[in-house]
């Protein structure tokens, strides 16, 4: 397997709109990267309306299928997302009986991805040019992942898809999951451990990309080189931030370079600070999160990642 370094640099754009922001790289130095774990929704693609549509579907399911009073839904979403990683994980932990296939069909299966997503040739060329094993690492279901990867025309570029079904199956094998409980998902530490095992990778030599500040903070805590995608200027505990995976070549040129190149480039901090939720938070039904609650998310993400 080829071994390369992940170093970072910033694009020459205005301070208020950095495409790439290196957060902790100065302290960490260059990292040798051998494997890429990449989230799916809002990371491999970004569709402006998708998080809001997913949120509406989750809340509609809670109302119609689970008979949760409408006035309680937003509060429950926030509480479960905060404490369990996803709304569905919280629902299952609190005794709701959920047919997982039914849930996934209702949340993603009803959305017009065929219209929202199309072939992404630049992304395909970018990923194809990186000579490293790549895995999709998503909390979403297999069918949804396959649909998106097919529409983007990047299915063949991944060695595997680590998703809801595979994490739960591994949980059953390891005796962690009984009677479909608990839900194994990011940002829980065990999900990262399983993903690394599935990829035959080590945390220290794996780069992880996600649009969720919580997941990125958890990945960072688990020792992965963790990159927030979709927002810069946050105080998220990430190694790197970029607006889009399309910025990957500028952000991590070391992925295309051979060592030795141990000098980490200049660190550039981004502005302004995070003022709203990431797409991932929005999709889970927490559309307007005050800064102090986001901070609480981050603190809890570290605890979840540490298995506390
Ligand atoms: Mg995502």
What pLDDT is attached to residue 30? 65
CA distance 107 to 101: 10
Residue 45 has pLDDT above 70, yes or no: yes
Taking residue 190's Cβ as centre, other Cβ atoms within 10 Å add up to 18
Name, in order, each residue with C-beta under 8 angstroms of 288's C-beta and a sequence gap of 6 or more: 276, 277
- Ligand 1 centre and the CA of 20: distance in Å? 18
- Ligand 1 centre and the CA of 214: distance in Å? 11
- Ligand 1 centre and the CA of 46: distance in Å? 9
- pLDDT digits 0-9 by tens, 1-28: 333 444 443 333 333 334 555 444 433 3
CATH number at residue 29: 3.40.50.1000
- Ligand 1 centre and the CA of 283: distance in Å? 9
- What pTM did the predictor assign? 0.78
Q: Which residues of 194-226 are buried (b: 16+ CB within 10 A; e: fewer)?
A: bbbebbebebebbbbbbbbbbbbbbbbbbbbbb
- pLDDT digits 0-9 by tens, 270-281: 333 334 456 665
The structural domain count of the chain equals 1
What pLDDT is attached to residue 262? 38
- Ligand 1 centre and the CA of 260: distance in Å? 33
**Residue 120 lies in domain:** 4-305
3-state secondary structure of 234: coil
Residue 303 has pLDDT above 80, yes or no: no
- Ligand 1 centre and the CA of 9: distance in Å? 24
């Amino acid at each position: 397997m080829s071994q390369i370094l992940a170093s970072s640099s910033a694009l020459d754009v205005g301070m208020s709109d950095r495409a790439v922001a290196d957060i902790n790289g100065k302290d960490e130095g260059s990292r040798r990267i051998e494997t890429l774990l990449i989230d799916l929704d809002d990371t491999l693609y970004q569709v402006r309306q998708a998080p809001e549509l997913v949120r509406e579907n989750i809340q509609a399911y809670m109302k119609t299928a689970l008979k949760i009073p409408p006035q309680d839904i937003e509060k429950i979403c926030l509480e479960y997302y905060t404490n369990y990683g996803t709304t569905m994980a919280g629902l299952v932990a609190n005794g709701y009986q959920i047919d997982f296939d039914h849930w996934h069909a209702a949340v993603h299966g009803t959305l017009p991805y065929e219209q929202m997503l199309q072939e992404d040739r630049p992304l395909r060329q970018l990923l194809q040019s990186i000579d490293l094993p790549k895995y999709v690492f998503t909390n979403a279901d297999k069918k949804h992942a396959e649909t998106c990867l097919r529409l983007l025309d990047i299915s063949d570029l991944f060695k595997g898809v680590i998703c809801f079904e595979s994490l739960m199956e591994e949980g059953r094998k390891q005796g962690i999951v009984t009677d479909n409980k608990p839900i194994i998902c990011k940002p829980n530490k065990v999900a990262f451990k399983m993903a690394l095992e599935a990829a035959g990778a080590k945390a220290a030599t794996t780069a992880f990309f996600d649009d969720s500040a919580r997941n990125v903070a958890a990945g960072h805590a688990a020792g992965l080189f963790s990159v927030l995608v979709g927002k810069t200027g946050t105080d998220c505990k990430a190694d790197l931030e970029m607006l889009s995976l399309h910025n990957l070549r500028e952000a991590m040129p070391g992925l295309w370079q051979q060592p030795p190149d141990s000098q980490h480039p200049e660190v550039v901090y981004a502005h302004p600070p995070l003022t709203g939720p990431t797409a991932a938070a929005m999709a889970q039904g927490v559309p307007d999160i005050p800064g102090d609650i986001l901070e609480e998310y981050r603190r809890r993400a570290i605890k979840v990642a540490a298995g506390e």
